[in-house]
Amino acid sequence: MANITEHMEHETTTGLDHRKLLIWAFLGSECMFFGSLIATYLVYYGQGLPGTPTPVQVLDIPTTSTSTFVLLMSSFMMVMSYNSISKGNVKNFRIWILCTAILGATFLGFQFYEFKEFATHYGLTPRTNLFGTTFFTTTGFHGAHVTVGVIWLMSLFFYSFKGDLTKDHGLMVDIAALYWHFVDVVWIVIFTMIYLIPVGVSS
């Protein structure tokens, strides 16, 4: 979203830019979206038919904690890319944001691997049982949000060659960064509720 308007210096009642208010309101809304998906998962936990793959059997904590680490580090890269652009350093910005996108894509790669393992090794698909349905939907929508994020970041990367992202202390990057961190924070919740706790209480 590299919209550059000519009227960014207008006064606002709060002194805050409209677009920052918009992204925060939107993130508040997204909390409810993921909250409902997670609620569905938690309500249905353990309710599937016996004899079909269960969380403790299929979840691979070592691999998923690696992908969690990857996503957390991507947030660090993101904040560094915003740091660069807000100081006017476009070259460094490009490096950091490319790294962010690459790490994001790596996270997605891990997710594809995990989904494939579940399907081929354990026969677990969304149609197999309740765990399959709720797990794939929740983590799948999170992955879709990461995908949108990667596309957004790459768009900013390419835009930096033609347009001026340094306006307003890099506001456009700031907004993308907020979205990216949000997606990371949702993953922290998912990793804890869906992976760590069920495995933790059962071990």
Least CB distance from residue 149 to another protein, whole Å?
14
Least CB distance from residue 13 to another protein, whole Å?
5
Least CB distance from residue 63 to another protein, whole Å?
11
Residues found in the chain: 203
Calpha distance 101→90 (Å, rounded): 16
Tell which residue, 167, 150, 175, has the closest CA to residue 70.
150
Q: Please identify, using beta-carbon distances, which residue of 44 and 98 lies nearer to another protein.
A: 44
Please compute, for residue 63, the number of CA atoms within 13 A of its CA located in the half-sphere on the CB side. Answer: 14
Calpha distance 41→76 (Å, rounded): 29
Q: Please identify, using beta-carbon distances, which residue of 17 and 98 lies nearer to another protein.
A: 17
Q: Please identify, using beta-carbon distances, which residue of 108 and 187 lies nearer to another protein.
A: 187
Calpha distance 3→11 (Å, rounded): 19
Q: Please identify, using beta-carbon distances, which residue of 108 and 190 lies nearer to another protein.
A: 190
Calpha distance 19→31 (Å, rounded): 18
**How remote is the C-alpha of 95 from its chain's centroid?**
20
**How remote is the C-alpha of 160 from its chain's centroid?**
23
Least CB distance from residue 148 to another protein, whole Å?
10
Least CB distance from residue 24 to another protein, whole Å?
4
Q: Please identify, using beta-carbon distances, which residue of 114 and 184 lies nearer to another protein.
A: 184
